[in-house]
């Protein structure tokens, strides 16, 4: 038996189990939190242009968690104001980031954590992110087919940056 192949399959299986564990026990296909639904906000500039609509949507659809994409070029005050308003409605906001290249370039998650640490240290209690949500999807990289074992090892090292 090839140990490297077994390790690769085991790691992929463990990641898939961890990824899907939160969906067991629900009877719907939506992302369901313990006390409501969740959704992703991939365009953070909506916080500046459409925050009223976004919060109204969340309230009217029982959304209790928003995963909001981080854009380091956006003013931190926009995040703070939105999180403050969301917090007042008992909506948790998580910092969202990631891309396939995060699996091979440790500087990307490090930059995210650096930005987030600086943000959290300057934010008021009702302006802080509740946590982080990372979306990497390394299977989209060409290395997934050509060098999966190396990619998975590099991905794990990159993920350790977030711990």
Mean pLDDT taken over the chain: 84
Residue linked to tokens 């290395």 = 143
Burial 68-101 (b: 16+ CB within 10 A, else e): bbbeeeeeeebbbebbbbbbeeebbbbbbbbbbe
pLDDT by residue (tens digit) across 97-111?
999 999 999 999 999
Judged against a pLDDT cut of 70, whether residue 134 lies above it is answered with yes
What average pLDDT does the segment 9-15 reach?
A: 39
What is the Cα–Cα distance from 148 to 155, expressed in whole angstroms?
10
pLDDT at position 130: 97
What average pLDDT does the segment 34-45 reach?
A: 90
pLDDT at position 34: 65
Burial 40-58 (b: 16+ CB within 10 A, else e): ebeebebbeeeeeebbeeb
Judged against a pLDDT cut of 60, whether residue 33 lies above it is answered with no
Judged against a pLDDT cut of 50, whether residue 53 lies above it is answered with yes
pTM score, whole prediction: 0.77
* The length of the chain, given as a count of residues: 163
Reported as a pLDDT band with limits 50, 70 and 90, residue 163 is confident
Judged against a pLDDT cut of 50, whether residue 143 lies above it is answered with yes
Is residue 84 within 8 A of residue 93, CB to CB? The reply is no
What average pLDDT does the segment 37-62 reach?
A: 96
């Amino acid at each position: 038996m090839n140990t490297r192949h077994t390790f690769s399959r085991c790691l992929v299986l463990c990641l898939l189990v961890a990824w899907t564990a939160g969906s067991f026990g629900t009877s719907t296909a939506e992302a369901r939190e313990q006390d409501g639904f969740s959704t992703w906000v991939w365009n953070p500039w909506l916080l500046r242009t459409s925050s009223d609509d976004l919060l109204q949507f969340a309230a009217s659809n029982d959304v209790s968690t928003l995963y909001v994409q981080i854009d380091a070029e956006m003013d931190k005050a926009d995040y703070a104001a939105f999180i403050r308003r969301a917090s007042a409605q008992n909506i948790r906001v998580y910092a969202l980031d990631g891309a396939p290249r995060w699996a091979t370039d440790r500087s990307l998650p490090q930059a995210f954590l650096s930005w987030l640490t600086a943000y959290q240290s300057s934010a008021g209690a009702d302006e802080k992110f509740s946590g982080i949500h990372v979306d990497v999807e390394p299977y989209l990289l060409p290395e997934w087919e050509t060098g999966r074992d190396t990619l998975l090892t590099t991905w794990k090292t990159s993920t350790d940056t977030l711990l």
